[in-house]
Amino acid sequence: MFDFLKGRYVARFAESRADLEAAQRLRYLAFVSGTGAAPRADGREADAFDGLCRHVLIEERRSGRLVCTYRFLDLAGGAEISRSYSAQFYGLEALAGYEGRMLEMGRFCIHPDCRDPDILRIAWGAMTRYVDETGVEMLFGCSSFRGTHWQDHADALAMLKHRHLGPKRLLPKVKAPNVFRFAARLRRKPDAKRAMLKMPPLLKTYLMMGGWVSDHAVVDRELNTMHVFTGVEIKAIPPARKKLLRAVAG
């Protein structure tokens, strides 16, 4: 995968402390600054999982400006899933027996001033190349809605309930102290237009890849978000979507 050059951009792994801190500063801009999340005095969004993960930086080739970052944790299989960030919030016992290689993707963000759709395509193209080269069989992570009031996300959550709940054999159990059990509590029929407007962009991408979600959302007051566990089995990605991803990755 790395270094991965495409058009105006290059995707690479963070190689130094300075690279990691640049990623953490971009995450602060995306996840903390002006979002209602709890501020940090050092201007970086960081946690203990940063030391366990690989960090991807997508930069403009000419200027070197960091425009996108995400991190991932590579697991040999479900037996290691208790090491993941998601395991703090979800009971993942149903996935502990998953035998294929797994990749937890997190802290995905694009610089707030950047609007080039190629950035998102390149981010996924780079990840696609890594998945293909290393034999990953499942992607998973937490997909976040901005704000902790479920009413603001009601149509999107109702859409997830009606169309995108995960298979019962793999569904995470409730673990976090503050959750909204949308699959049990929402009775409304979703307004499709409002639902898609409220759906986080990263979650939209997962769903287009055949992804599924947990039946409850975790309320994270520190980051002022609600998130759902999201899983994507590589074999379940529609062929047309795989072709598009691999065209970018090639």
Return the pLDDT at 248: 81
Which residue range forms the structural domain that includes residue 199? Answer: 73-249
- On whether residue 14 sits in a domain, the answer given is no
Return the pLDDT at 2: 59
- Residues in contact with 162: Cβ distance below 8 Å, sequence separation at least 6, in sequence order: 189, 190
How many structural domains does the chain have?
1
Whether the full predicted model's pTM is greater than 0.75, yes or no, is yes
- On whether residue 67 sits in a domain, the answer given is no
Give all strands (DSSP E) within the chain, no chain letters: 4-6, 9-13, 54-60, 66-75, 90-91, 102-110, 138-146, 173-174, 179-180, 212-213, 217-220, 225-233
Return the pLDDT at 6: 75
- On whether residue 166 sits in a domain, the answer given is yes
Return the pLDDT at 155: 96
Average pLDDT per run of 10 along the chain, which is 250 residues long? 76 96 96 85 93 96 95 97 98 96 97 91 91 96 96 96 96 98 94 93 93 98 95 95 84
- On whether residue 66 sits in a domain, the answer given is no
- On whether residue 68 sits in a domain, the answer given is no
Chain-centroid distance, C-alpha 101: 17
- On whether residue 195 sits in a domain, the answer given is yes
CB atoms inside a 10 Å sphere around CB 62: 8
- On whether residue 10 sits in a domain, the answer given is no
- On whether residue 7 sits in a domain, the answer given is no
Return the pLDDT at 217: 98
